[in-house]
Chain A
Amino acid sequence: MRDWTRSAGVMPVVAAFAVVMSGCDLEIQNPGSILDEDLTTPELMPILVAGVSAEYNDIGDRFAFFTAILSDDMTGSGSYGSTQDYRQGLFDWEESETFWEQAHEAAWAADQAFQRLGEVLPDVMSNALSARVMMLMGHAHMRLGENFCDLVYDIGSAQARSVAFDSAIAAFNLAITIGNAAGSGADEYVMSARAGIAQAMVGLAVHGGGSWAAAATAASVVPTDFVDYAIYHAQANSNQIWIETHNRAEYGVWGTRAQRMGDPTLTDPDPRTPYTICGTWDDPDPINPSPDAGVTSTGCSSGSGAHQGADGLTAHYRQDKYPERGSDIPRVSGLEMRMIEAEAALIAGDMAAFIGFVNEARASFGDNAAGTGLVLPALTAPATAGSLDWPYEFPAVDGWSILDEERYANLWLTGRRWYDLDRWDHPFLDGGFLAPNVPGSGALARRASCMPVPKNECELNPNLADSSICR
């Protein structure tokens, strides 16, 4: 009996002690994650920089996808709540949160990576990785400046949009400096940075601090056939535009300017806005179709709702600019550079120069599309600058209508059209709508043309406590 009692007393003490010891030394075992302190060797820097590219890719297709519905690039034909709002030009400060967060993170990740490169690489100022990081940072700032109505950095106060363009130019210039020091391995990054500077100069010309002449000068150093892509891959960061148009029918070309330009039933459809008609309206009045008339499939081969939009209503006209899950999306291109030069010439009143740049781009596209046998004919110089129109002028005759159409075609589905509408104060913004069967959508006072600083920034940033940019 005594032995039992003694052992009974020892047993709990041993057990409790074992438990305490175990409880004090409980390690996480989560393979798959990489600890911060392990990213400190030069051979790991390429994957760090690739991560910066992945961060940019998050916003590359996101802005391209959603601003296509907010602009006249695409008709929202889907069932996402956002799609329903965006097609009517509605966009509020809660909807801008993810765009704001991801764009800032793309820039921040580049900055963090550059600091890490400085700690790890002995040749940080002459290494192509550093040049790429700064190039990506510049483009991230560009997406902020082009898409947001106001800017805030580092939990600071509200700033004008031009600060984003200034930040972009600083990053691009550093990329160029490093890239030049790095040699030919960084040529692609250097050229992308030069094109980025031209984009930023446009922003400064619009919002103060720059000029169209400076923008044109910056653009002039970029060859027409140059393209820098945000790279997507079928098994990694897939192109969301492809997913939302080929894998499902969240938006389509029906009802847009592209529908008319690229109409595949025409003998000479514009090859810059390619699409396939996957479903045809059964109702002769598709603006207000009968609910039971439906849409007849023409045989597109994949995707849920392949013949009609995810709204169960709209005939699906499927974009084919990005025909694959891994199709890349241009960040900057020589075609855009020619458009910048053309716009500068138009503003300066030089119609010959204007149409020269336009035709240079058209010819270049024809060359690029040689495999398709499609060549864009040269346009005649307009007699007047004219003005922007809604509904659009078909065919475009005056200078602004030509520029409008050419920029639309060359930059289609790259996330750039919305900024054009905004900086031009395009008449499409005043009542233009692409929302069939949505009574009242055409009666909006004005479509949104830039994103407000989001609600969470206003709530979490003490420097915005009384700011007028927070609604």
Chain B
Amino acid sequence: MALRMFVSRATKSARNLVVAFAFVAISAAGVSAQATGTVTGLVRDAATLEPLAGAQVSIEGTGIGGLANNVGRFLLLNVPAGSQTVIVTLIGYSPGAETITVTSGGTGTADFNLHEQALSLEGVVVTGTAGQARRREVGNVIESVTAGDIQMAAVTSFSDVLQGRAAGVMISTGEGQVGAGSAIRIRGNASLTQSNNPLIYIDGIRMEVNPITARDEARSQVTALDGINPADIDRIEIIKGPAATTLYGTEAAGGVIQIFTKRGSAGAPAWTFTFDGGRSRMGHQGPSDASQVKSMSNAWTEDPANASTYPTGDMDVDYLLGTGAINENGLRLNDCASGGTNPGGAYPAEPGCPGSGSWFRDGYMTRYNLNVRGGGETATYFVSSRFSDQDGTVKPQGAKDYNVRGNIQFQPTDGLDISLNNMYTRRNITWIPNGNNASGLFLNVLRGTRGYTPGNDDSLVLDNDIQTAVNQWVTGLSVGWSPNQSFSHRLNVGMDYSYTDYTDFKPYGNYENPTGDRENRNAHDRNLTFDYNGTFSYDVSDGVSSGFSWGGQLYEEYSGGLRGRDEAFAGPGEQLLGGGTLPRLDEDRLTVRSGGFFLQEQIGLGDRFFLTVGNRWDGFSTFGEGIGLASYPKISAAYTISDESFFPQIDAIDGLKLRTAWGRSGRAPGAFDAVRIYEATQADEFVPAVIIGNLGNADLGPEVSEELEAGFELSMYQGRFGLDFTWYNQKTLDALIRVQEAPSFGTEEATLRNLGETKTWGTELTLNFVPVRSDNIEWSVSGSYSTNDSEIIDMGPLQNLGFSLRVGQPIRVEYDEVLSNFGAVGVAPQWNNEPLGVLWPTKLFSIGTRLTLNQSLTLDVLGEGQGGHVRTIGVGWATVRRETWPACFGILEEWNANGRTNLTTQQQATCAPPHSSWGAWTDNADFFKIRSATIAYRLPDNWVPRTRSVTLSLQGKNLFQMTDYQGLDAESYDTGAGGNTPFEYYNMGPPKVFIFNVRMNF
């Protein structure tokens, strides 16, 4: 029997079985019957020997079956005596089968170690309709990340979970301080002016996707997503692009991320305790040896078409450094205790240098996770808690997180499934001032005596007390109702609420403001979800099925807060707003509502070909009066061609699915954009006033993205080889662009209009391969590669919008200076402006491998690369202007001695303070990092009494990096998680993290 047929049958039969369910008390299950016996056993992951709860177990040909309980055990009663075949199936794993002899009144045992399956067409995913869909029915690609992936990885925040684990999904950290959020892009940027963030749902409830704090003194932002405990995640599904997200409507054009947390399962309480002890360490900042200093390059200099201007393809700068160490102090971050030399002569040790001699420290981490799952026939639960205490790599930076979750499921009657999911997180983050900030640590240290601190005592900036406290509550009620096999309904109601308290306190006596300065921001962010979906499925005729789906959603997002500031306090102490002499206060409240509904019909032919047609209609509070409901159609087809009789019967091929999808989705304009309003302000001697706020546009509608994607999914060698390929082409029509009249009309206020058009396209490839699989050794390799290109087709009357948006160029480019007199010696640089490259990665790739020996020792490594983009090293540009960038010391010496006489234009453009050019400092930012490396050992059973299993592991994060980028870190940039035009400006890169992990199941 071909494996695909086996899987299909097993799944169908298992679904229809009447479950005889027993729990942990196996010892009490002695059942005797005439000519029948009992079958029991344990289902585990073959690689890790972790129990697999929920695996479906059946006796072939008998209708007898059940589910493995929460510790992987199963018990089947009244099994006819004789030879019986026990079959085990679980989505994501290859099925197992074993023949045993059952004796009358006896107990037979069948244990199963299931292997993960690279690609399964029978796996189920969530598509926006009421029920789950099998992958074979879905016409678009859906990526999945499982709990197994997360458990093995070096993860310090939720952002880490997605890094390098899904093709086309980019996670960009920005600032490496503990607690800083990340930006997420799926298939890059498609919108010119609106958010390119994906929508995020957790257990069906929409979460806030934008940073929940504004850019602050740390130049970092906090995201709601990082409030989720990674250990609570069961799986994540990523839906990419408008062709797949149509049913999610307006705002879904950037993709959708669905997070599903763990659920309870029947059985006695099964506990898991995890302890992490870790250490973060910052590597050397900047080059320390002349051999590490390289000429910078970007897409423009490397373009063969520009070889006549830049013949070497790069800046071709001789840094005049000779060989060896170029500066014993690096950039004074790693070693500030001793002096050094630069072109101006000797400089002393930093007055405020910590006693360790470095501004960095080893940041220690302790983290405890405890969760329990269990339950009975009608109710199950999953309860977890976490405490995490992480130090940053600069004192006093760090974060303490507390997280609890309670997921409860009820099945009061057949067909009715009620889930109540609750999460509460409290996060206390202490920042250091950093980034593009006159009070920033890196800025002042790197600028040496030309920083802003009195006497060059940069420790003074650390007196600035910057705190963010986040309280976050996510609650959701999910009711699934399947009154019969045809109907299914799903209702999700819930809320994601966060309260953020940010304080920035410069106490009395502060060097910048001797009488003190305090800023406080209290922000509330609340997302409400009401989501109802229904599906009616039936067989039209033999081999023809129909699935009709409908649904409606209401969302409300409220954000509000108070921002206050005061200064000139009377004296020392923890002063509050109002205690000074210059209090100022701003209040914001904003509510945006949207509602929509959809209809969808899916026709299936022979369980091989599925055609899906649907449409969504959306209303939105930010649309103009003349818009009404926005309409988003979709159509997709999925064809498991390998099931056809004409398909060559090749044993090696398990399944081949072809798929294609076309659909539309949208992005909504901002809250104020459609209406003419005045803003309240103050004028003169603090009297109330109004000024024009927005001219309004009654015809303002959503920008609509449409996408065509096609691809295939191939599974071979009994699930040991999987290949998933996707090509997509996306157009954003009616792109929202803020266009003003010619300013002589009278107002500078620009009006948002649906005028633009953009195009993005690319490919995605995912590969999973298990070259070796035996009882004692399993070695798997995985990888992904994706591209994302873009072009701005039209911007209405505009040819450019700022420097980074230009017609005919990719979305978000660095448009800056290139030399027009490259190579000339003794003359000042001359410039032209050209597009130097795209600011966001256009190529992503990952490669991972896992080797497991004797089901106990596992080595797991995941590396990720991002490339095809440039980043301006603003930190170099600005530091050169202070003559304190070590790589430029050679050229600076020559500049100070002889001016430009002996210097090329490119040497001046890079290192001569008055000529240092932002464009010359725009460098290719390609990099590859080992995101996670883990070696784990599962202790032999019974080594630790009263436990089911104990695993020890050593994990490392960002241990290794390859890049030619000349800044501090190719990943860091200044504007935190919300920046559209990233550039590096005295930001901290992510540190290396080492974690010792103990995981106990009991």
A residues at B contact (CB < 8 Å): 1, 4-5, 7-8, 11-12, 15-16, 18-20, 22-24, 26-36, 39, 46-48, 50-51, 53-55, 57, 79, 97-98, 100-102, 104-105, 107-109, 111-112, 152-156, 231, 233-237, 248, 290-294, 297, 301-308, 310-313, 325, 437-441, 454, 456-457, 459-461, 464
Contact = CB atoms under 8 A, between A and B. Distances in A.
Contact of B595 (A19, A29, A97, A293): A19
Contacts of A311: 450, 881
Given A291-B884, A302-B514, A459 B798 contact: yes
B589 A12 contact: no
Nearest to A307: B454
Nearest to B691: A51
Nearest to B591: A29
Contact of A28 (B438, B622, B682, B747): B622
A20 B597 contact: yes
A233 B685 CA distance: 6
Contacts of B449: 291-292, 294, 312
Contacts of A53: 683-684, 689
A20 B742 CA distance: 40
B689 A312 contact: no
Contacts, number: 290
A291 B798 contact: no
A255 to B, nearest CB: 16
A108 B745 contact: yes
Contact of A33 (B515, B679, B683, B746): B679
A8 B489 CA distance: 8
Given A30-B672, A233-B685, A437-B913, A297 B746 contact: no
Contact of A456 (B452, B456, B677, B742): B742
B448 interface: yes
Given A313-B450, A456-B742, A39 B618 contact: no
Contacts of B919: none
B688 interface: yes
B742 A108 contact: no
A32 B680 contact: yes
A34 B620 contact: no
Nearest to B436: A79
Which of A18, A33, A111, A441 has the largest number of chain B CB atoms within 10 A?
A33
Contact of B690 (A34, A156, A454): A34
B284 interface: no
Nearest to B343: A291
Interface string B455-473: 1100000000000000000
B914 interface: yes
B969 to A, nearest CB: 22
Interface string B729-766: 00000000001111111111100000000000000000
Contacts of A48: 689-690
B582 interface: yes
B439 A304 contact: yes
A292 B589 contact: no
Contact of B744 (A12, A294, A457): A457
B512 interface: yes
Nearest to A110: B746
A302 B510 CA distance: 9
B552 A35 contact: no
Contacts of A15: 532, 534, 551-552
Given A20-B597, A292-B449, A155 B899 contact: no
Contacts of A233: 682, 684-686
Contact of B746 (A104, A234, A304, A460): A104
A291 to B, nearest CB: 4
B676 A16 contact: no
24 contacts: A8-B481, A18-B552, A20-B617, A24-B629, A29-B621, A32-B589, A32-B680, A51-B678, A51-B689, A105-B692, A108-B746, A154-B745, A156-B744, A248-B438, A292-B347, A294-B449, A302-B512, A304-B452, A307-B454, A311-B450, A312-B447, A312-B449, A312-B450, A313-B450
B828 A440 contact: yes
A32 B562 CA distance: 13
Contact of B745 (A16, A46, A155, A303): A155
Contact of A291 (B344, B451, B552, B679): B344
A11 B489 contact: yes
B352 to A, nearest CB: 15
B487 interface: yes
Contacts of A109: 691-692, 746-747
B675 interface: yes
Size category of the binding interface on chain B? 35 or more
Nearest to A456: B743
B450 A294 contact: yes
Contacts of A111: 746
A100 B743 CA distance: 7
Interface string B689-718: 111110010000000000000000000000
B587 to A, nearest CB: 7
B53 to A, nearest CB: 31
A101 B750 CA distance: 11
B596 interface: yes
B484 interface: yes
A292 B680 contact: no
Nearest to B341: A292
Interface in B794-808: 797-799
B345 interface: yes
5 pairs of A and B residues whose beta carbons are closest in the complex: A108-B746, A312-B450, A19-B552, A23-B619, A101-B748
Nearest to B512: A304
A11 B740 contact: no
A460 B532 CA distance: 47
Give the most central of B346, B587, B594, B681: most A CB within 10 Å: B681
B900 interface: yes
A100 B622 CA distance: 30
B489 A12 contact: yes
Contact of A237 (B489, B584, B683): B683
Contacts of A1: 484
B484 A50 contact: no
Given A291-B450, A293-B344, A26 B489 contact: no
Most buried by A among B682, B684, B878: B684
Interface string B483-517: 11001010000000000000000000000111100
B821 interface: no
A51 B683 contact: yes
B984 interface: no
Contacts of A31: 589
A253 B781 CA distance: 66
B682 A12 contact: no
Interface in B895-952: 899-900, 913-914
Nearest to A435: B914
Contacts of A34: 677-680, 690
A30 B552 contact: no
B18 interface: no
A40 B454 CA distance: 55
A3 to B, nearest CB: 9
B342 A39 contact: no
Contact of B483 (A4, A26, A102, A464): A4
Interface in B196-218: none
A28 B744 contact: no
Contact of B554 (A22, A54, A154): A22
A377 to B, nearest CB: 35
A308 B456 CA distance: 12
B686 A461 contact: no
B550 interface: yes
B743 A33 contact: no
B28 interface: no
A1 B486 CA distance: 12
Given A291-B884, A304-B439, A26 B621 contact: yes
Given A15-B534, A104-B745, 19 more contacts: A7-B483, A11-B534, A12-B550, A23-B619, A30-B671, A46-B687, A104-B746, A234-B582, A235-B584, A292-B345, A297-B454, A304-B438, A312-B450, A312-B881, A312-B882, A457-B744, A459-B797, A460-B740, A464-B742
